Amino acid sequence: MAKEGVEKAEETEQMIEKEAGKEPAEGGGGGGSHRLGDAQEMRAVVLAGFGGLNKLRVTRKAMPEPQDGELKIRVKACGLNFIDLMVRQGNIDNPPKTPLVPGFECSGIVEALGDSVKGFEIGDRVMAFVNYNAWAEVVCTPVEFVYKVPEDMSFSEAAAFPMNFVTAYMMLFEVANLREGMSVLIHSAGGGVGQAVAQLCSTVPNVTVFGTASTFKHEAIKDSVTHLFDRNADYVQEVKRISAEGVDIVLDCLCGDNTGKGLSLLKPLGTYILYGSSNMVTGETKSFFSFAKSWWQVEKVNPIKLYEENKVIAGFSLLNLLFKQGRAGLIRGVVDKLIALYNQKKIKPVVDSLWALEEVKEAMQRIHDRGNIGKLILDVEKTPTPLMANDSTETSEAGEEEEDHEGDGENKERMPFIQ
Ligand SMILES: NC(=O)c1ccc[n+]([C@@H]2O[C@H](COP(=O)([O-])OP(=O)(O)OC[C@H]3O[C@@H](n4cnc5c(N)ncnc54)[C@H](OP(=O)(O)O)[C@@H]3O)[C@@H](O)[C@H]2O)c1
């Protein structure tokens, strides 16, 4: 991977601190690279340590250069996913060391090619997966994780595309084998993956989609989902009232007691896929109680019961498939199919809102508050909306200890640009 690891980040931050008097003010938005001595540098979001929103800051870091097999991308937009909240909290298996630059996907323009890179040219418009480090003005990532962006796809759409649509496509078509006439249950139906699932279901004839979402989203998403329920409703009863036999596919990103509920809703030969654990996020910082509760509530499945009931149970993790299990080739094939669907105008990323890098805390707060419909995008060239009095968003220094306030909601009076 590119030489932008922790050591280099720390070194660079020390350099910046030494040169602090000469530095341009942070948070100017609008981007552009700067020089610090001989080193070219860039703006990036840095997570100083695991915890609340106050662990995030925008800082200047040394710009990475592409290694053999990598592309250097001048980033235009980055995807903000639910998993980024879990990373911030340290609510994931084997969390990496901090400080780190978060983010797993971005779009932008190819600025340089590492040795042995083929199939791309400088100036290409691309979208890419990155194994962390996406929330920066410049990113380097191996060529196997980079895809060309269709001509009429905007950079924000492109940053909203890979994670949500590849996840949705692989679950529906590679794992669960969605076919004509089937039914699907999806939670968080108004979110990034939820909307991608709903759109992909509409590409297959006569598919019934059952969805749960916060009620205020129902009006906005009602055309994409056949039957919508409030997220707090007894959805097992509601589904059974409409379809006594249940559903063919359950996509569960919540975990906890939803696992047992999902399995109970499966028709014979139906497939349950666990692909997230949103229930573990109950406040701004990691809650060991929610973690333990969610783990404890998961139905312990006996394979003999699955055999008797003709049920399939599966798990799906795109990041593991990409970065740990070497399936980039398989995923490239999926991206090709998705781009074809986009070009045929059958799918289109739903972008909730655009945020400057400096507004990352407010953007994350919007997800904590369940306010998003579709995907949040960090727009690298966006100028932050001026702060209201008493707002202290640009506060923390990397490594500085600050008190975390679980569920601290007294955030942020900025108004994002809503599409
Ligand atoms: N396994 C994979 O490869 C993979 C890939 C991508 C995403 N995922 C998972 O898929 C799920 C959706 O991801 P996404 O990035 O598209 O996010 P998203 O659905 O846009 O996430 C935000 C929405 O999730 C719902 N939600 C559920 N529990 C929540 C909680 N504890 N706190 C705040 N909101 C909560 C809220 O909608 P409502 O209030 O309307 O329910 C909220 O608006 C996440 O669990 C994520 O980890 C998995």
- Collapse the DSSP code of 87 into the 3-class scheme (helix H, G, I; strand E, B; otherwise coil) and give the result: helix
User: Pick the residue with more confidence: 274 or 393?
Assistant: 274
How high is the pLDDT of residue 35?
53
The residue to mutate among 82, 258, 259, 289, having the most atoms of ligand 1 within 8 angstroms of its beta carbon, is 82
Least confidently predicted of 21-35, 160-174, 223-237, 271-285: 21-35
**Residue 271 CB–ligand 1 contact under 6 Å:** no
The span from the CA of 33 to the CA of 320, in Å, is: 32
State which ligand 1 atom lies nearest to the alpha carbon of 187.
41
The residue to mutate among 253, 255, 323, having the most atoms of ligand 1 within 8 angstroms of its beta carbon, is 253
Amino acid at 385: T
State the Rg of the chain over Cα.
22
The span from the CA of 319 to the CA of 257, in Å, is: 24
Q: pLDDT tens digit string along 76-98?
A: 999 999 999 999 999 998 889 99
Q: Which residue has its alpha carbon closest to ligand 1 atom 43? A: 370
Among 166, 159, 115, smallest CA distance to 136 is for 159
Question: CATH number of the domain at 41-157, please?
Answer: 3.90.180.10
Task: State which CATH number among 3.40.50.720, 3.40.50.300, 3.30.70.120, 3.40.50.10800 fits the domain covering 164-343.
Answer: 3.40.50.720
**Residue 188 CB–ligand 1 contact under 6 Å:** yes
**Residue 104 CB–ligand 1 contact under 6 Å:** no
- Summarize the confidence of residues 3-24 as an average pLDDT: 33
- Summarize the confidence of residues 44-72 as an average pLDDT: 97
Q: How far is the CA of 185 from the centre of ligand 1 (A)?
A: 14
The segment(s) of the chain belonging to CATH 3.40.50.720 are 164-343
pLDDT at 19 over 50: no
Do the beta carbons of residue 195 and residue 164 sit within 8 Å?
yes
User: Pick the residue with more confidence: 5 or 254?
Assistant: 254
The span from the CA of 301 to the CA of 208, in Å, is: 27
181: left (phi over 0), alpha (psi -120 to 50) or beta: left
Q: How far is the CA of 365 from the centre of ligand 1 (A)?
A: 13
The segment(s) of the chain belonging to CATH 3.90.180.10 are 41-157
**Residue 186 CB–ligand 1 contact under 6 Å:** no
Among 52, 7, 35, smallest CA distance to 364 is for 52
- Collapse the DSSP code of 347 into the 3-class scheme (helix H, G, I; strand E, B; otherwise coil) and give the result: coil
Q: How far is the CA of 82 from the centre of ligand 1 (A)?
A: 5
Q: How far is the CA of 367 from the centre of ligand 1 (A)?
A: 8
Do the beta carbons of residue 184 and residue 209 sit within 8 Å?
yes
How high is the pLDDT of residue 292?
77
Among 56, 49, 77, 59, smallest CA distance to 8 is for 59
State which ligand 1 atom lies nearest to the alpha carbon of 368.
33
State which ligand 1 atom lies nearest to the alpha carbon of 196.
16
Among 236, 255, 232, 256, smallest CA distance to 247 is for 236
The span from the CA of 66 to the CA of 192, in Å, is: 30
Q: pLDDT tens digit string along 276-298?
A: 999 988 888 888 777 777 777 88
Angle of helix 82-89 versus helix 360-368 axis, rounded to 10: 100
pTM of the model: 0.87
**Per-residue tokens: 343:** 């070009």
Least confidently predicted of 115-129, 155-169, 214-228, 378-392: 378-392
- Summarize the confidence of residues 228-252 as an average pLDDT: 98
